[in-house]
Amino acid sequence: MAAPKKHSSTITANDGRRNNGRKPGFKVKNVKKVEKLTPAKLNKAKKERIQLYAINAIRTEFGSEEEFFMHLARESKKSYNHLKLMMEYGYGKPSEDSHSGGEKKAPVINFYGNPTTTPIDNTIEIEHDED
């Protein structure tokens, strides 16, 4: 059977069912890929390269790393974010473990009856002297 002409009276805008429009033909559209906003996973080489870029940018903009830190110290008087950055450079990032009460040990439960440790003798000996 031959394909019907485009302007034929037999081609309708829907397929005969109520409120059911005909789907357009399947054509391959040239869709441009959208670049992802998040970069790919950072590996060791990328981290080193970013670090070199940052140091080179500091040296070209401020002249030396010392001038950069002097500028950062001046800005830290005005802004909390600069102060936080300055403290992290100087003293390192605070660890989340610093507020814990130390190393916690789980209790040891012995189900076999053989004591693995010697029990502590908590008996109090009282000598009674009669007068």
What does the DSSP 8-state code read for residue 99? G
Distance CA 52, CA 6 (A): 63
The pLDDT of residue 85 is above 80: yes
**Amino acid at residue number 81:** N
The pLDDT of residue 22 is above 70: no
What's the whole-number average pLDDT of the chain? Answer: 78
Least confident of 15-19, 33-37, 65-69, 81-85: 15-19
Which one of 2-16, 20-34, 45-59 scores highest in mean pLDDT? Answer: 45-59
Whether the predicted model's global pTM rises above the 0.95 cut: no
DSSP line for 6-64:
TT-TT--SB-SSTT-BPPPP-----PPPPPPSSPPPP-HHHHHHHHHHHHHHHHHHHSS
Q: For the chain, what's the residue count?
A: 131
State mean pLDDT over 19-48.
73
State mean pLDDT over 8-16.
64
Residues in contact with 89: Cβ distance below 8 Å, sequence separation at least 6, in sequence order: 69, 72
The pLDDT of residue 88 is above 80: yes
Distance CA 107, CA 49 (A): 48
